[in-house]
Structure 1
Amino acid sequence: MLVTDLDSRLTELYEEMVSLRRHFHQHPELSFEERETPRTIAAYLRELGLDVREHVGGNGVVGRIHGGDGPTIAFRADFDALPIQDLKDVPYRSKVNGSMHACGHDAHTATLLVLAKALTEIDLPGDVVLIHQFAEELAPGGAKPMIEDGCLDGVDYIYGSHIWTPLPFGTVGVKTGPIMAAADRFELTVKGKGGHGAIPQHTVDAVMVGTNIVSQLQQVISRRIDPLEPAVLTVGTFVAGQAFNVIADEAKLSGTVRTFTPETQTRIITEMERTIAHICSASEAHYELDYIRGYPAVINHATETDHVRRSAARVVGTDGVIEMAPLMVGEDFAYYMQHVPGSFFFTGAGNPEVGAVFPHHHPRFDVDERAMLHTARILMQAAFETWNMHKKED
Structure 2
Amino acid sequence: MSCLSKSIMVSSPSHAATTIRPDIQHLDLVSWRRHLHQYPELGFKEHLTAEFVAQRLTEWGIEHQTAIAETGIMATIIGEQPGPVLAIRADMDALPIQEENTVSYRSRHDGVMHACGHDGHTAIALGTARYLSQHRQDFAGTVKIIFQPAEESPGGAKPMIEAGVLQNPQVDAIIGLHLWNNLPLGTVGIKSGPLMAAVDLFECKIQGKGGHGAMPHQTTDAVVISAQIVNALQAIVARHVNPLNSAVVTIGQLHAGTASNVIADSSFMSGTVRYFDPELAHLIEPRMQDILTGICQSWGATYDLNYWRLYPPVINDAAISDLIRSVSTEVIETPTGVVPNCQTMGGEDMSFFLQEVPGCYFFLGSANADRGLAYPHHHPQFDFDETALAMGVEIFVRCVEKFCDPNP
Task: Output the TM-score relative to the length of structure 2.
Answer: 0.92
Contact 1:58 1:145 in 2 (8 A): no
Instruction: Specify the SS of the correspondent of 1:319.
Output: coil
Instruction: Specify the SS of the correspondent of 2:120.
Output: helix
Could you tell me how far apart the structure 2 residues matched to 1:117 and 1:206 are? Answer: 59
Show the counterpart of 2:173.
157
The residue identity in structure 1 corresponding to 2:240 is R
Show the counterpart of 2:26.
12
Aligned ranges for residues 186-225 of structure 1 at < 5 Å? 186-225=202-241
Show the counterpart of 2:13.
none
Could you tell me how far apart the structure 2 residues matched to 1:391 and 1:6 are? Answer: 22
The residue identity in structure 2 corresponding to 1:79 is M
Corresponding residue to 1:128 among 125, 138, 143: 143
Show the counterpart of 1:101.
114
Show the counterpart of 1:41.
53
Matched, 1:250 2:266: yes
The residue identity in structure 2 corresponding to 1:315 is V
Could you tell me how far apart the structure 1 residues matched to 2:402 and 2:165 are? Answer: 23
Could you tell me how far apart the structure 2 residues matched to 1:199 and 1:163 are? Answer: 56
Contact 1:173 1:347 in 2 (8 A): yes
Please list the CA deviations of residues 118-169 of structure 1 after superposition, one character each: whole Å capped at 9, or x if unmatched.
1111123111111000000012x00000000011112111110000011000
Please list the CA deviations of residues 77-102 of structure 1 after superposition, one character each: whole Å capped at 9, or x if unmatched.
10100000110111111111111000
Corresponding residue to 2:157 among 129, 143, 146: 143
Structure with the bigger RCO (C-alpha within 8 Å, sep 6+) is 2
Instruction: State the Cα distance separating 1:7 from its structure 2 match.
Output: 2.2
Instruction: State the Cα distance separating 1:115 from its structure 2 match.
Output: 1.4
Show the counterpart of 2:368.
351
Contact 1:6 1:118 in 2 (8 A): no
Instruction: State the Cα distance separating 1:242 from its structure 2 match.
Output: 0.5
Could you tell me how far apart the structure 1 residues matched to 2:268 and 2:189 are? Answer: 39
Could you tell me how far apart the structure 1 residues matched to 2:202 and 2:233 are? Answer: 12
Structure 2 unaligned runs (5+)?
Answer: 1-18
Could you tell me how far apart the structure 2 residues matched to 1:7 and 1:182 are? Answer: 37
How many percent identity over aligned positions?
45
Instruction: Specify the SS of the correspondent of 1:69.
Output: strand
The residue identity in structure 2 corresponding to 1:130 is I
Show the counterpart of 1:320.
337
Could you tell me how far apart the structure 2 residues matched to 1:291 and 1:298 are? Answer: 20
Could you tell me how far apart the structure 2 residues matched to 1:115 and 1:108 are? Answer: 11
The residue identity in structure 1 corresponding to 2:318 is A
Matched, 1:363 2:380: yes
Task: Output the TM-score relative to the length of structure 1.
Answer: 0.95
Show the counterpart of 2:244.
228
Structure 1 unaligned runs (5+)?
Answer: none
Show the counterpart of 2:11.
none
The residue identity in structure 1 corresponding to 2:30 is V
Show the counterpart of 1:289.
305
Show the counterpart of 2:37.
25
Contact 2:20 2:390 in 1 (8 A): no
Matched, 1:331 2:348: yes
The residue identity in structure 1 corresponding to 2:343 is P
Instruction: State the Cα distance separating 1:6 from its structure 2 match.
Output: 8.2
Could you tell me how far apart the structure 1 residues matched to 2:336 and 2:345 are? Answer: 25
Corresponding residue to 1:376 among 378, 382, 393: 393
Contact 2:188 2:364 in 1 (8 A): yes
Instruction: Specify the SS of the correspondent of 1:73.
Output: strand
Could you tell me how far apart the structure 1 residues matched to 2:275 and 2:291 are? Answer: 19
Instruction: State the Cα distance separating 1:319 from its structure 2 match.
Output: 3.0
Instruction: Specify the SS of the correspondent of 2:385.
Output: coil
Show the counterpart of 2:77.
65
Could you tell me how far apart the structure 1 residues matched to 2:377 and 2:192 are? Answer: 23
Instruction: Specify the SS of the correspondent of 2:336.
Output: helix
Contact 2:20 2:331 in 1 (8 A): no
Count of residue pairs brought into register by the alignment? 384
